[in-house]
Amino acid sequence: MNDRPDILPAAEDDVHLPPLPPPDLADLVAENHALRAFTGALIADAVSMPVHWYYDQAALDRDYPRLADPVARGRDASPYLAPRHPHTGSILWRSQWTPPSPAFDILRDQARYWGRRDVHYHQFLEPGDNTLNARLAIELYGLAKRDRDYDPERWLDLYVERMLASDWNRDTYVEEYHRHFFTNLGAGRKPINCGVRDVHIGGLAAVPALVAALGPRHHDLRRIVRLHVSLTHKDDEVLAAADALVRLLVRLTREDHADARPPGSEAAVAELRAALLDEASPWISTAKVRSWERAVEMAGGHCPERAVVGAMLSPACYIPDAFPAALFLAWRHAGDVTAGVVANALCGGDNCHRGTVVGALLAAVAPIPEPLLAGLRSGGKLASF
């Protein structure tokens, strides 16, 4: 018998309570604007995954008619699709990499597909799966959120561990900067010194993750983002674009600002467009937007954005065109996450990494529709941190 009046015996029904269910991602992103932006980045990557590196837009439409035809897909249907084989436009056959030693082999059993024609870059992924850089961003988010801080040494330890684990990565494609990093690591450099001057938009994949993990009010966020990106991408324009993106996300997701503009409202859309002009002026301007919008109006068709991304701006991965292309798509589709991430995917090229920017900016100011949240395979892990 309990002799202490201040301690009550447990009720019989409370003794064997089942574990609490994991938090629902939809509830989390409704309350946390920065997490919603990061989730939007992951969604855009996963939607683009099957059509990644398509430069022949007619082939993209032929191979993925459900994505290209909104009537066939249905407004409320999931746009997540499986990769199709063969990928006739794949240029993976041109790529090669020789690890410095077996201990630093990040391709492992995927190496057999390099040098072959028609191999899909993400052949073993499933609808709603994320590509390698997005999965690394999720790992970074979890680490920084648990630590409530960012430590480059701890991140590099985790990065090397994940990349060398035999069962962690099922993705055939491994971007160039990873290969350079592990070549340098195998040559004896310290991890902190293994980065190279890389000019690709893939360097921005981690920016929304850091904003979400540390919070948009973190006093040192811009310095942390620059430090993190420079571990692998030492190019000045990539670093400048990363700084612009973090400024945009801070402005759009801080609670004291965002709560005054309900997601999807006219005020939120107007704020996104104003922020783009204020914070990313080297890459986007009122004059450029007018020119791009005129091209879109003249183009017509199911993806008129191709008159800009693919004609006026390259759909490739190089930051001088890739970043303004992403900003244009965010401007054009402000207020509509689904339309924006699908348009980005349909533009082809490096749509996965360009989508990191597009999806984050769109979701920062607009709600994410349920089919996009439900089909994102990383959603459960994201909600569990």
pLDDT tier at 78, thresholds 50, 70, 90: confident
Say whether pLDDT at 371 is over 70.
yes
Evaluate the CA torsion angle 53, 59, 62, 65 in order and state its sign: positive
pLDDT at position 196 is 98
For the stretch 108-140, pLDDT in tens is 999 999 999 999 999 999 999 999 999 999 999
Rounded to an integer, what distance in angstroms lies between the CA atom of residue 34 and that of residue 254?
Answer: 8
Evaluate the CA torsion angle 51, 54, 56, 59 in order and state its sign: negative
For the stretch 5-33, pLDDT in tens is 333 333 333 344 555 555 689 999 998 99
pLDDT at position 13 is 38
Choose among 308, 317, 359: nearest CA to 338.
359
pTM of the full structure: 0.93
Mean of pLDDT values over 220-233: 99
Q: Which residues contact 274 (CB under 8 A, 6 or more apart)?
A: none
Are 121 and 52 spatial neighbours (Cβ–Cβ below 8 Å)?
A: yes
pLDDT at position 22 is 53
**Mean pLDDT computed over every residue of the chain:** 93
Q: Can you list the domains of the chain with their CATH numbers? A: 25-384 (1.10.4080.10)
Joined tokens for residue 23: 């938090």
pLDDT at position 4 is 39
For the stretch 317-369, pLDDT in tens is 999 999 999 999 999 999 999 999 999 999 999 999 999 999 999 999 999 99
pLDDT at position 161 is 99
pLDDT at position 142 is 98
